[in-house]
Amino acid sequence: MITGIQAAVSSLQAFSMKLENNGHNIANMNTDGFKKGRVLLAEPPQGGVSARPEKVNQPGSVVAEQTSAGYEMVEQSNVDLAGEIPDMIRSARAYEANLKTLQAGDEMAATLLDIRR
């Protein structure tokens, strides 16, 4: 069994990984051939949240680019900014919610300690 505070900490770590992944994807969206990553969240048997990163091997769009040898077909990244921004906002809000859970647990512990004095 996992406590509420332990669950909130594991969630913070998972959503931190998701936010880092979003930032990495956005930073590399103009890199030809870049494959975006994603983070899958799951609930392990003992509770909390586990995060597993993986690459998305879906091909990016192919465009013709002029090089010194003429035009060549080049695969662009498969990052979709219209999907990354909402995912980043959801992850940030979930991170904030878990921070509030930790703050509430801290306040309850402080109140309990004050009562026992």
Per-residue model confidence as pLDDT tens digits over 70-84: 999 999 999 999 999
Give the pLDDT confidence score for residue 49 in this predicted structure.
92
**Integer angstrom CA distances of residue 67 from 29, 32, 60, 75:** 21, 14, 20, 14
Distance (Å, whole) CA 64 – CA 74? 6
Q: How do residues 9-62 score in pLDDT, each as one tens digit?
A: 999 999 999 999 999 999 999 999 999 999 999 999 888 899 999 999 999 999
Alpha-carbon distance of 26 to 4, in angstroms, equals: 33
**1-13 per-position pLDDT tens digit:** 467 788 889 999 9
* Distance (Å, whole) CA 7 – CA 24: 26
Residue ranges making up the domain that contains 60: 4-116
How many CA atoms lie within 13 Å of 61's alpha carbon, on the beta-carbon side? 7
The number of domains in the chain is: 1
pLDDT for 5 equals 82
| Beta partners for residue 24, in sequence order | none
pLDDT at 63: 92
